[in-house]
Amino acid sequence: MDCQSPTWARPIRSRVLPTALAFVVAASCLFAAPSFSQAQRPLNVVFILSDDHRYDYMGFHENAPAFLETPSMDRMAREGAHLANAFVSTSLCSPSRASILTGQYAFRHGVVDNQRRVPDNTRFFPQDLQDGGYQTAFIGKWHMGSASDDPRPGFDRWVSFRGQGVYYNPTFNIDGERQQVDGYITDLLTDYAIDWLDQRNQDAPFFLYLSHKAVHAEFEPAQRHEGMYADVRIPKPQSMKNTTQNYEGKPRWVQEQRYSWHGVDHMYHGRDDHPQSLDEIIVRYSESLMAVDESIGRVLDYLEANDLADNTLVIYMGDNGFMLGEHGLIDKRQAYEESMRVPMLAWGPGTIEPGRTIQENILNIDIAPTFLDIAGTSMPDRHAVDGRSFFPLLADRAVPDWRSAFVYQYFWEHSFPHTPTVYAIRGDRYKYIYYHGVWDKNELYDLQTDPREMHNLIDAPEHQDRVQSMREELFDVLEANGATDVRFRRPSGGQADERLIEK
């Protein structure tokens, strides 16, 4: 079999980064045999996804706010592994979720904003798990095309809802039939997930995809968590201050956005159905997260109580990050660390040595090939896969050619025009950000000396060779894969763009 890498994966000579980029290997070469014997049933897999959970809002994390309590996430890190450098290739719900299911970048799968449905010919990795003998279930938020909650290919069990859904008393599509159910959505989804585990065929391996609505705005905690953090001291990032020093070197659009829908000085335009201050946002965000943490604990407890823990891998992940005041911004979309970085934890007592921290860069496009690797199968050759399996890293096996850099894309949206189209390349030390269609500054950061990205080096004389080299490397990769066409669609609906107050 010819295992030549596709163009995207072929090494590009780098004058900046310590190793050449190697984003993808051919799909036929991705999937090495699992570490278990062929006589043994493949690992079961539980994938728990949350919405807008930022990477450092886990109690054990060194950058977590002191008040935050996440005992189940802490347990996953203590008994399993913390993947400390997990990122998304597009920091937006639908594109990221499509990348998880396909193993592809947004430019390839075509879901480039929150309104687009997945193209009809798209292949999801659970279809291949089914072909390999797995029973599969999707429980929760789909959110690729807001108008439909119909069952999608690849799942034997389907429980979902339209668009963003609601926190209380949701209407679910349960295997094609709609039904309103009383209760809090995070708890309900966990109930359905555990019920399916109880009812499954115990003679076949299983894949459960538990996809939470939380912690998406507008934040609504479970009643039992209301007021839990009402009296805590809320930390504010240094970069939030509206000072000349903070905005020196920053693109103009960043400073202007603080007075818009996704800015700290006029967030959500002061609508009554949104939190009215950053303090309130952080409190309600953190309280809404608590039910997700409890959901994780319920799943782990079920697996242990039913003798499934040793033959099951659980992965927890956020679909994108979330800005909480950094650079005067809230929400996501940008290529700043708080936006593109996500929490990721892995728990599997029979697979993962407890207490490990994995430092390699893991992307959302790596989820599909990892789970297919575990199952000993792959997607059809006609389906290009941009990610690669990180299962060897979980099993503590060295992967000498793992990526040292990756690209990021976000495409401008009519509904939220505050953030321009973004292309970025992030290496282990330096990040270069290029903005398309706006007359403004690009950005370069030294993540080693400036992890909060407060000092833009784009005009620094000593970095001009690096700027030029990283820009060329970024566009070499994009052009080689036909990824430079900016995606555009007919405008629909309104724009959240009115600046109701001035600086």
pLDDT score recorded for residue 1: 29
Does residue 15 register a pLDDT over 70? no
Tell me the pLDDT of the chain averaged across its residues.
88
Comparing 88-102, 111-125, 151-165, the range with the smallest average pLDDT is 111-125
The answer for residues whose C-beta is within 8 angstroms of residue 323's C-beta and 6 or more apart is 54, 262, 329, 330, 331, 332, 334, 336, 338, 339
Predicted confidence band at 482 (pLDDT cuts at 50, 70, 90)? confident
Does residue 487 register a pLDDT over 70? no
Predicted confidence band at 37 (pLDDT cuts at 50, 70, 90)? very low
Predicted confidence band at 498 (pLDDT cuts at 50, 70, 90)? low
DSSP state, 34? P
What does the pLDDT look like over 164-197, one tens digit per residue? 999 999 999 999 999 999 999 999 999 999 999 9
The answer for residues whose C-beta is within 8 angstroms of residue 236's C-beta and 6 or more apart is 278, 325
Burial of residue 89 (number of CB atoms within 10 Å: 0-12, 13-18, 19+)? buried
What does the pLDDT look like over 196-208, one tens digit per residue? 999 999 999 999 9
Query: CA 314, CA 294: separation in Å to the nearest integer?
Result: 15
Does residue 240 register a pLDDT over 60? yes
pLDDT score recorded for residue 274: 72
pLDDT score recorded for residue 302: 98
pLDDT score recorded for residue 354: 97
Comparing 109-113, 121-125, 291-295, 344-348, the range with the smallest average pLDDT is 109-113
What does the pLDDT look like over 113-134, one tens digit per residue? 877 777 878 889 999 999 999 9
Query: CA 333, CA 417: separation in Å to the nearest integer?
Result: 11
Max CA pair span of the chain = 68
pLDDT score recorded for residue 38: 39
In the block, residue with structure tokens 């240094």: 238
Predicted confidence band at 51 (pLDDT cuts at 50, 70, 90)? very high
Q: Please, are residues 127 and 501 in contact by the beta-carbon 8 Å criterion?
A: no
CA nearest to 466, candidates 17, 9, 13, 2: 17
Helix (H) or strand (E) holding 141: strand 135-141
Does residue 430 register a pLDDT over 60? yes
CA nearest to 129, candidates 210, 198, 44, 72: 44
Predicted confidence band at 2 (pLDDT cuts at 50, 70, 90)? very low
What does the pLDDT look like over 346-382, one tens digit per residue? 999 999 999 999 999 999 999 999 999 999 988 777 7
Alpha helix ranges (H) inside 244-366: 244-247, 252-257, 278-305, 337-340
Does residue 6 register a pLDDT over 50? no
pLDDT score recorded for residue 497: 62
Query: CA 80, CA 393: separation in Å to the nearest integer?
Result: 12
What does the pLDDT look like over 242-287, one tens digit per residue? 999 999 999 999 999 998 889 888 888 777 777 778 999 999 999 9
The token duo for 182 is: 């009383």
Query: CA 422, CA 343: separation in Å to the nearest integer?
Result: 22
pLDDT score recorded for residue 485: 76
**What's the angle, vertex CA 273, arms to CA 269 and CA 277, rounded to 5?**
60
The answer for residues whose C-beta is within 8 angstroms of residue 273's C-beta and 6 or more apart is 218
Q: Please, are residues 194 and 303 in contact by the beta-carbon 8 Å criterion?
A: no
The token duo for 335 is: 């290529």
What does the pLDDT look like over 295-317, one tens digit per residue? 999 999 999 999 999 999 999 99
Q: Please, are residues 292 and 215 in contact by the beta-carbon 8 Å criterion?
A: yes
Query: CA 430, CA 449: separation in Å to the nearest integer?
Result: 10
Burial pattern 155-173, b for ≥16 Cβ within 10 A else e, equals bbbbbbbbbbbebeebebb
Query: CA 116, CA 415: separation in Å to the nearest integer?
Result: 13
CA nearest to 243, candidates 454, 498, 13, 3: 454
Q: 3-state class of 293 per DSSP?
A: helix
pLDDT score recorded for residue 242: 93
From residue 80, how far is each of 60, 62, 69, 309, 351 by CA, in Å?
Answer: 13, 17, 18, 12, 9
Q: Please, are residues 46 and 212 in contact by the beta-carbon 8 Å criterion?
A: no
Query: CA 439, CA 117: separation in Å to the nearest integer?
Result: 31
Give the mean model confidence (pLDDT) for residues 226-232. Answer: 95
pLDDT score recorded for residue 396: 92
Burial pattern 319-331, b for ≥16 Cβ within 10 A else e, equals bbbbbbbbbbbbb
Does residue 438 register a pLDDT over 70? yes
Domains of the chain (ranges; CATH) run: 42-403 (3.40.720.10)
Query: CA 159, CA 200: separation in Å to the nearest integer?
Result: 15
Comparing 359-363, 377-381, 446-450, 451-455, the range with the smallest average pLDDT is 377-381
Torsion region of 138: left, alpha or beta (phi above 0 gives left; psi -120 to 50 gives alpha) = beta
What does the pLDDT look like over 132-148, one tens digit per residue? 999 999 999 998 766 78
Predicted confidence band at 10 (pLDDT cuts at 50, 70, 90)? very low
Query: CA 165, CA 216: separation in Å to the nearest integer?
Result: 10
Q: Is the dihedral of CA 116, 117, 123, 126 positive or negative?
A: positive
From residue 323, how far is each of 3, 211, 334, 370, 408 by CA, in Å?
Answer: 41, 21, 9, 28, 17
The token duo for 156 is: 């034997």
Comparing 21-35, 205-219, 234-248, 446-460, the range with the smallest average pLDDT is 21-35
